[in-house]
Structure 1
Amino acid sequence: MAGIALPAALAAAPIVLILLLMLGLRWSAAHAGLAALALAALLAVTAFDFGTTAAAGAQAGGWHDAVGVAAEGGFLALTILWILWPALALHRLQENSGAIATLRSGLGRLSDAPARQALLVGWLLALFFEGAAGFGTPVALAAPLLVGLGFAPVQAVVLALLGHAAGVSFGALGTPVAAQVALTGLGAVEIARTTALLHAALGGVLMLFFVRTLAANGASPGFGWPALAALGFFVPSLALAAWLGPELATLGGALIGALVFVAALSRANRRPVAAGPGDSAASGELVRAISPYLVLVVLVVATRAIAPLAALLGEAALSWQLFDRYQGKMSPLTHPGTLLMAALLIGARLQRVALQDVGSALAHAARQLRPVTVALLAMLLLSRLMLHGGLIDALERGAVAGIGSAWPWIAPAVGALGSFVTGSATASNVLLTTLQAQTAQALALPSVVIVAAQGFGAAVGNIICPHNIVAGAATVGLAGREGEILRRTLLPCLLYLALGGAAVAGLVALSW
């Protein structure tokens, strides 16, 4: 046991360092990731013999391994940044063109009941923007909207955090799952289906706390409207994940749920949504405002559901291999980033936005990605170094020996810890998915279930992530009061993780 414990402790040191630097010293993810990367490199060379021909088990060794790790990490970073760049540019263009303002005013006309408005904005709209852009966009958008609708700033941020959480697993057109697929080689549909099943089974917990927060603000929605909002998202989200994979599970589920909710509001008002003078024109403006997202839905469905088209586009796959050990692969024509870029350009054309404004939005998004790029690259390099350097193997052996068959119960909490530390479900998946997969294999557990548990936990970890809380608080003028928000989101997070562990253990038992 001692022979396993020491290597496991050394292998855990880079992750512990991230915790200490980010939580104790409040370092950024980029700086903490770089420091952890340096420590991991030192440990890999001195304690795990990384870089020697014997350790590599192939002809690679020395500088070959350094080049291989850098190539894998850099390639994965580029595939993820290609998603983030057009996603952030699209959101920027929507803001600058007035589409977001149009969307805001259109939502306000649907109902004068604060609780119903909150469900539409804080739950369905937040989920929609999580699916389209992710990376903090839903909270930054929904919280100010909720304040504008009359909610107290603290409650507004809490509602936005709770409302978007279940969709984070498939945020930014499925980016977190794309990272898991790249790291494990498991099927995207299989991971997405299991992850969506966990959220669908337990997502009512988030809605209960959402309703509780509404009631604390004096807005009681009753039972029917929250149930409609929850089911309106989770049912189509699960169906889309099982049918197409991760790309539309949040975006499409939120869009369908919003349409159902709006139709129910119209029926409750006993009049068509567009009834008064000028309402038809307003409805046309609203359609134009969401046209890029409608284009995106069409493109994703076409490239996933039309088999001949998917096969034709998939033939353009790019792949490479170095030193018989390091490799990477992507399909550029079906990649979510390519589809997002197409939706951005086509949507801009439909909205009659000048090409110069599109270029300005892309340039602004590129500037936004500078700090993200450093953090993402640091985490990806750390992940690949820990994998190829033997640190993940040591952690896996320590986990098997110390936790054993109880691992399914804590697998979601591991994912949440990663999000809490890194501020991103994608970064959590990048950092910890390989550990989860290898531990599953060593314990003879179903890899898909354990990897899905990682993504499930990484999503809910966003509601207690300091970065999300700080960003959300800043948008509504709550700087310095972040602790009030954390106290309101900690219990929902812990309960969701505990129930998630039980659900994962149940799925494992059924698979046996």
Structure 2
Amino acid sequence: MGIPLKIGFEIYQSGETVTQVLMLNLLPVLVLPFLLALLYERTEGVKIDWRSELRMLTGAGACFALPYFVTGLFSIEFPSVAAGSVGLVLFMVMFAKVQGRIGPAFWWKAFWPYLVFVLMLAVIKPLVAGYSIHFGEGLRPLQAFQPGIIFLFAVGVYLAAGRYRDRSSSIMSPLRDTLASMKLPMLTILLLVCYTQLVRGSLAGMVSSGMGIMPIWLQMVMLPVAGVSGSFITGSATMSNLLMAGIVQMPAIGGTAVAIALLHTGSALGNAISLQNIVMIRSVVPSKESDGWIIATNMLPVGVYIVIVAVGYLVLS
């Protein structure tokens, strides 16, 4: 949630739309570990004993879903943070198959960079949440609270701490290495962003006219598909929500909370097949597989997730 809802739909706090997002994603989140295990089995050529892994996979979904759902009732910035931290600890303690005992040193080493980021978010948000930068009439104001910028500050703290522990280490060296390995991916992403700006109007119009001839129930079911398509083209859930926001205002849909939730869910899912994300990941994780193979492989969990969301919507409606 967070930035995609804020910028895409100007939703700044929990409410009916956020509740709809949580409800629509609850069952798919519980199923997702099984989909990922199936994907692992297919791509790595290993055989999974589903009966013996049932408890762990069920626990993985529950450990993510519970803190995500509860936190989402009060905040739109922290559900993923809570699920990724509290949920991970619960999973490791209760369900993970580990050798021996996990001591405090392990938890501290694994989590202290993450805790720095979370603490920065918690401290800075109440200080700057009410402020924004205005660029002029007709332009959307920029919120002062930007988790992405705070994340960069957290990275700086992490590098400075490493320098403090090891005087021979350099802060600039990892920055230089990162920039050197990402020059071409960054250029590729810039070209993709330019391409997105060229086609965004035509794409939104084409999707709107195509959905306009569908029955109302099918229009609603197709909203997650539109969101996935938007993220595939634009590279982010935020841009997808901006691109496709006009669809939920179509007369038959009426901009309802559940319509926004369906579109946003698809936009978030689309990150799994986003061209920009794939280019960025391949810049730091070398892989012989083609982009097409990665997209086709990820379409399995994305497709099943959409089907579960659509069925859930039809049942709840």
TM-score, structure 2 normalization: 0.76
Q: CA 1:183–1:344 in 2, change beyond 3 Å: closer, same or farther?
A: same
- Unaligned segments of structure 2, at least 5 residues: none
CA contact (8 A) 2:224 2:264 kept: yes
Residue from 4, 14, 26 that aligns with 1:189: 14
- Unaligned segments of structure 1, at least 5 residues: 1-169, 275-279, 305-309
CA contact (8 A) 1:238 1:249 kept: yes
CA contact (8 A) 2:32 2:61 kept: no
Residue from 471, 487, 494 that aligns with 2:303: 494
CA contact (8 A) 2:8 2:238 kept: no
Name the amino acid aligned to 2:157.
I
Cα deviation for residue 358 of structure 1 reads 5.2
Q: Which residue of structure 2 aligns with residue 458 of structure 1? A: 267
- State the secondary structure of the residue aligned to 1:250: helix
Q: CA 1:268–1:349 in 2, change beyond 3 Å: closer, same or farther?
A: closer
Partner Cα separation in structure 1 for residue 290 and residue 96 of structure 2: 41
Residue from 135, 158, 171 that aligns with 1:357: 171
Q: Can you list the C-alpha shifts for 1:140-168, whole angstroms capped at 9, x where unaligned?
A: xxxxxxxxxxxxxxxxxxxxxxxxxxxxx
Partner Cα separation in structure 2 for residue 382 and residue 362 of structure 1: 34
Q: Which residue of structure 2 aligns with residue 273 of structure 1? A: 102
Residue from 282, 288, 291 that aligns with 1:478: 288
Q: Which residue of structure 2 aligns with residue 371 of structure 1? A: 188
Q: Can you list the C-alpha shifts for 1:223-250, whole angstroms capped at 9, x where unaligned?
A: 11111111111111222222220x3322
Partner Cα separation in structure 2 for residue 265 and residue 180 of structure 1: 33
Name the amino acid aligned to 2:289.
A
Name the amino acid aligned to 1:461.
G
Q: CA 1:210–1:479 in 2, change beyond 3 Å: closer, same or farther?
A: closer
2:47 is aligned with 1:218: yes
Larger Rg over CA atoms? 1
Cα deviation for residue 181 of structure 1 reads 2.6
- State the secondary structure of the residue aligned to 1:499: helix
Q: How does 1:277-296 map to 2 (within 5 A)?
A: 283=105, 287-288=108-109, 290-296=111-117
Partner Cα separation in structure 1 for residue 162 and residue 308 of structure 2: 45
CA contact (8 A) 2:248 2:260 kept: yes
Cα deviation for residue 300 of structure 1 reads 2.1
- State the secondary structure of the residue aligned to 1:298: helix
CA contact (8 A) 2:132 2:141 kept: yes
Q: Which residue of structure 2 aligns with residue 45 of structure 1? A: none
Identity %: 17
Q: How does 1:140-219 map to 2 (within 5 A)?
A: 170=1, 174=2, 178-187=3-12, 189-190=14-15, 191-213=17-39, 217-219=46-48
- State the secondary structure of the residue aligned to 2:267: helix
Cα deviation for residue 403 of structure 1 reads 3.9
- State the secondary structure of the residue aligned to 2:141: strand
Name the amino acid aligned to 2:211.
A
2:136 is aligned with 1:321: yes
Name the amino acid aligned to 1:318.
I
Q: Which residue of structure 2 aligns with residue 95 of structure 1? A: none
2:86 is aligned with 1:256: yes
TM-score, structure 1 normalization: 0.50
Q: Which residue of structure 2 aligns with residue 84 of structure 1? A: none
CA contact (8 A) 2:68 2:80 kept: yes
CA contact (8 A) 1:376 1:427 kept: no
Q: Which residue of structure 2 aligns with residue 413 of structure 1? A: 225
Name the amino acid aligned to 1:236.
P
Query: How much is the aligned-residue C-alpha RMSD, in angstroms?
Result: 3.8
Cα deviation for residue 463 of structure 1 reads 4.2
CA contact (8 A) 1:237 1:252 kept: yes
CA contact (8 A) 1:252 1:297 kept: no
Name the amino acid aligned to 2:175.
A
Partner Cα separation in structure 2 for residue 459 and residue 344 of structure 1: 24
Cα deviation for residue 188 of structure 1 reads 5.0
2:156 is aligned with 1:345: yes
Q: CA 1:335–1:193 in 2, change beyond 3 Å: closer, same or farther?
A: farther
- State the secondary structure of the residue aligned to 1:243: coil
Partner Cα separation in structure 2 for residue 346 and residue 466 of structure 1: 30
CA contact (8 A) 2:59 2:91 kept: yes
Q: How does 1:92-103 map to 2 (within 5 A)?
A: none
